[in-house]
Every structure is written in structure tokens, then in C-alpha cells.
């Protein structure tokens, strides 16, 4: 298996979140891009401000690595219009894939009209620009019942409004990786929850994000039917695969 082609190598911290200067933080992005080129990851997931740098580096290297960015990150409470404006800017900058944080707080409060509107319009702006779109549902904030419900809502909206032929272009994604949980509970993807998402999202694609830090877990995610893995541990995962293959 080429595990590298399942990986969305991720660096989403702002300079202040990383306690770095802007220059130091940009260097982190450069290092991720160099690594992505070397190991031929599927995609790099970065903040929109770094997209021009990424496009230049990837083009110079002749790399096929895709560029993804986040929308409404990480709280998800941006208005639909703010998310759409952010999405258009990312598209104009050259992003290939956009990962929206669904307004999961509105969803939990029962404001389904708002949630459905942002999902519909977010999908529409991406598909009309030939971009893939992922919806981060923030599983650590939801019950199992809510996870199933929001996943089914996204699937239904896609199938009813954009057709089964577009199912391959829309993902349900587990987590931002930034959600603060109590008692150090997992804030990202777990195998049992990803199994639930895969089962309820089909034929849509799925992405496990947050908490996948080793090759063994990555393999188990793929075996479940997960299509992408968002991780800041991509190098550890691919080098483990290479070392394992050399053992045969």
C-alpha cells in the first residue's frame, strides 16, 4: 500500500498559537512543503495565507501534491457569508480542496436551517469551481447520535442537490484537532467513531483527522474505508511503511 497517497500532511497553527514569529512559523510551512515533495503526500493542509508560497514551491519541484486549506476554522461559528467569502479567497489563491468547519454549535441547538444552508452553499461554491470540499463535524463536541445525524444530513444534501456523481468530491471529516476536551479525552478521530462515519457517509468520502500519529493506526483507518488521513505525523507514518517494506 502507498500510505502516502492517503495523507493530508497538516500544519495549521498560527504564529501566535505556535508561540513563534511570523517568519519562524512560515519556516514550519516551508519544512512541511519540502517533506511533502520528498514523500509525495496526497495533499498539504495549510492556512490560506501560505497558499501562494506552496504553489510556487510545488510548481518549482514539479510536484503533484495538492493544496488544501481550512474555512471557518476552528470554531465553525463564522456566518455563512463569512465562510463563503473565505472560501472564494482560498479558491482565488489556488487551493485544490477546502475543509469547512460546520457550525456544530448551531447544529446542537437544533438550528438545522442555518446548518443546511451553509453546507449547501459551501458545496456549491466548491463544486462550481472544480474543488473538493470536506465538512469537519468536530466529533469531540457531539454525541454518537449527533455524529450519525449530521453525517446523514450532509450525505442527503449532496445526493439530493448535487447527485451521486458528486459524492466522490465531498467528504465528512472528523475533527479540527483544536477542540478542547475535558479530562484529556480524545479530540480527534478514533477507530469506532470513524467506522460510524464511514457507514453513514457512503457514498461520500471520509477523512480521519486528529490523533492519527502512527503507521498502525493509519493502516486500520484505511482498512475501515477512510479515504484520507489528516495528520501532523505524516513523516513518521511513511517512514514506518518504508522500513516495514524493507523487512520483507
Q: pLDDT per residue over 7-26, tens digit each?
A: 999 999 999 999 999 999 99
Q: What domain range includes position 209?
A: 3-246
Predicted local distance difference test score (pLDDT) of residue 246? 60
Q: Is the pLDDT of residue 247 over 70?
A: no
Catalytic residue among 42, 83, 134, 207: 207
Rounded Cα distance, 18 and 86, in Å: 22
Quote the number of domains for the chain. Answer: 1
| Residue 5: closest CA among 227, 190, 202 | 227
pLDDT in tens, 86-143: 999 999 999 999 999 999 999 999 999 999 999 999 999 999 999 999 999 999 999 9
- Dist. CA 211–CA 126, nearest whole Å: 27
Q: Which of 131, 134, 173, 205 is catalytic?
A: 173
Query: What is the Cα–Cα distance from 228 to 103, expressed in whole angstroms?
Result: 22
Single out the catalytic residue among 8, 99, 205, 227: 99
Nearest of 175, 178, 96, 166 to residue 135 by alpha carbon: 175
Q: Is 207 a catalytic residue?
A: yes
The reply to whether 202 belongs to the active site is no
Q: Quick check: pTM over 0.75?
A: yes
The helix/strand/coil state of 227 is coil
Cell numbers found for residue 146:
449527533
| CATH number of domain containing 28 | 3.20.20.70
Is residue 242 part of the annotated active site? The answer reads: no
Helix (H) or strand (E) holding 217: helix 215-224
* Backbone dihedral angles phi then psi of residue 228, each to the nearest 5 degrees: -140, 155
Amino acid at each position: 500500500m502507498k500510505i502516502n497517497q492517503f495523507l493530508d500532511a497538516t500544519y495549521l497553527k498560527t504564529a501566535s498559537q505556535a508561540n513563534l514569529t511570523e517568519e519562524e512559523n512560515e519556516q514550519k510551512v516551508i519544512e512541511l512543503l519540502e517533506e511533502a515533495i520528498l514523500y509525495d503526500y496526497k495533499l498539504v493542509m495549510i492556512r490560506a495565507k501560505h497558499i501562494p508560497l506552496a504553489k510556487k514551491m510545488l510548481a518549482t519541484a514539479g510536484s503533484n501534491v495538492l493544496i488544501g486549506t481550512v474555512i471557518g476554522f476552528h470554531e465553525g461559528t463564522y456566518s455563512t457569508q463569512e465562510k463563503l467569502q473565505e472560501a472564494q479567497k482560498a479558491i482565488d489563491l489556488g487551493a485544490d480542496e477546502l475543509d469547512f468547519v460546520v457550525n456544530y454549535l448551531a447544529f446542537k441547538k437544533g438550528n438545522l436551517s442555518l446548518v443546511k444552508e451553509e453546507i449547501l452553499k459551501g458545496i456549491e461554491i466548491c463544486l462550481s469551481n472544480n474543488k473538493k470540499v470536506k465538512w469537519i463535524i468536530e466529533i469531540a463536541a457531539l454525541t454518537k447520535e449527533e455524529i450519525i445525524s449530521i453525517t446523514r444530513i450532509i450525505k442527503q444534501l449532496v445526493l439530493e442537490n448535487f447527485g451521486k456523481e458528486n459524492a466522490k468530491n465531498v467528504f465528512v471529516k472528523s475533527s479540527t484537532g483544536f477542540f478542547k476536551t475535558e479530562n484529556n479525552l480524545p479530540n480527534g478521530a478514533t477507530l469506532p467513531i470513524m467506522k460510524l462515519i464511514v457507514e453513514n457517509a457512503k457514498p461520500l468520502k471520509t477523512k480521519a483527522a486528529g490523533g492519527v500519529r502512527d503507521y498502525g493506526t493509519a493502516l486500520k483507518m484505511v482498512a475501515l474505508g477512510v479515504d484520507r488521513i489528516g495528520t501532523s505525523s505524516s513523516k513518521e507514518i511513511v517512514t514506518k511503511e518504508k522500513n516495514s517494506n524493507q523487512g520483507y
